[in-house]
Chains A and B, each alone.
Chain A
Amino acid sequence: MKRFLIPLGLFLVLVVFLAIGLNRDPHEVPSPLVGKPAPDFKLGVLAAPDKSFTPADMRGQVWLLNVWASWCVSCRAEHPLLVAFAKQGGLPIVGLNYKEVRGDGGIDAKKLSADDELALTRQRAGAWLSQHGNPYTLSVLDMDGRVGIDYGVYGVPETYLIDKKGVIRFKQIGPITPEALEKKILPLARQLATES
C-alpha cells in the first residue's frame, strides 16, 4: 500500500494546482499601480468645457476613479450600482470617460477633426449620462486613451480607489459587483477615511 502513497500525494498536489488555476481569471492582471501614487493628469471636464481636473484636486479625500464609456456594454451592468452608491453619498466618484469616440468601432475617428471629436465626445457622453443617470462628481475626457495607459487600463470598466494622499489602494478590474463593493471597496474606504 505504501508505494501508492507517493503517486497519490503527487496527484493531489497536481489537483490542488489545477483547481487554483481553474478558479483564477486570467483576464484579471494584478495592477502594479496599487500602493503607488495615482498618475498625474490634467483633462477637460465633461460638463464644464472651460474647466480641467487633476487628481491633486481630490487631495484629502478618499475617492473612486471609474473608467467608463458609452460604448462599453459592461459599464451598463455596473452603472445602476454606481448611481445607487452615489445617492447614498458613499464616496466621491470621478468618471474617466475613456476613448468615447475612438473606442467605438463604429466610428472612423481618423476622419474627424480634433474639435469635431471633442464635440461628439461631449454629446455622446452627456447623452449617455442623462439616459442612465450620473453618479459622478464630474467626468473627465480622455479622448486618446493616454491617461488610460498611465493608469494601466486595458479594458472598460475599471475602478481605482485612491486615498487622501493620492495613492491608489485598490483596483477593480471589470464591473463593480455588489460583493466587491460591500466586501472590498467599502471596508477599505472606511479604513482609509480614518487615516490622516
Chain B
Amino acid sequence: MTRSRLTSCAASAALAAALTLGAASPLLAAEATPMADNPVVEARLVAISEELRCLVCQNESLAASRAELADDLRREVRKLINDGKSDAEIRDYLVARYGDFVLYRPPVKPTTWLLWFGPFVILAGAIFGLVAYLRRRSTRLAPATLSDEQKAAAQALLGTPHAPPKDNA
C-alpha cells in the first residue's frame, strides 16, 4: 500500500535529476535548505546523519535524503547538537523512536548475532569442508610415482616437442 509520503522519494529523484540538468537554475537554488550559522554544527550534523537511514527513502542516508521527514529529522538533530548532546545520545534519540533500522551499522546484540557472525560461521564451515575434502581426496588418489618404463616413455614424448606430426595420408 502506497502511503502519502512515499511519493516524495520519486519527487526527490526527479528534483535531483532536474538539479543535475540545470545546476545553475535560480528557481531551484532558492528552495535549498539554508545552512545553519555554525559550520561546526553543520559538520557534525552531516557526520551523524550520514550514518543514519532515512525511513522514507530507505536506501538514502538522512544526510542525503530530500524527503520531508529527513528535513524534520535533520532539524531535530541540529537542535540536539545545539543542546550539547553527544553523538551517541543523538543516535539513541532516533533509535528510541524509529528502532535500530535507522542505523546503518546495526548494534551487536543477540538478535543481530546471526547478521554479524553468520558470514564468519559460513566461512569457517566452508574452510572446514574444503580441508576435509582435500584430505579425503589426497588419501584416495594413488601416489603419483611413475615406473622407470613410464618415465622413459614420458621422456620420449616430452623430449621431442618439435617432431613433425605423423603423416596419416
Contacts and interface: CB of A to CB of B under 8 A. Distances in A.
A188 interface: no
A181 interface: no
B83 interface: no
Contacts of B72: 144-145, 149
Interface string A23-46: 000110111110000000000000
Nearest to A158: B3
Contacts of A74: 1-4
B4 A27 contact: no
A7 interface: no
Contact of B6 (A30, A33, A75, A155): A155
B68 A155 contact: no
Contacts of A26: 58
Interface string B81-112: 00000000000000111111100000000000
A77 B1 CA distance: 10
Given A27-B3, A105-B8, A156-B4, A150 B55 contact: no
A18 B108 CA distance: 24
B97 A174 contact: no
A114 B8 CA distance: 25
Nearest to A71: B4
B69 interface: yes
Interface in B1-40: 1-6, 8, 11
A150 B97 CA distance: 6
Interface string A128-160: 000000000000000011000111101111000
A156 B98 contact: no
Interface string A160-182: 00000000000000110000000
B54 to A, nearest CB: 9
Nearest to B53: A29
A126 interface: no
Contacts of B101: 29-30
A152 B98 contact: yes
A55 interface: no
Given A105-B11, A155-B56, A31 B99 contact: yes
Contacts of B2: 73-74
Contacts of B100: 32
Contact of A73 (B4, B95, B98): B4
B99 A75 contact: no
Interface in B40-62: 55-56, 58
20 contacts: A29-B98, A30-B101, A31-B99, A32-B98, A32-B99, A32-B100, A33-B97, A69-B4, A72-B3, A72-B4, A74-B2, A103-B5, A145-B69, A145-B72, A149-B97, A154-B56, A155-B3, A155-B56, A157-B3, A174-B1
Given A72-B4, A103-B4, A155-B6, 6 more contacts: A29-B98, A29-B101, A30-B99, A151-B97, A152-B98, A154-B55
In the A-B complex, the 7 residue pairs with the closest CB atoms: A154-B55, A155-B3, A72-B4, A152-B97, A32-B99, A155-B5, A29-B101
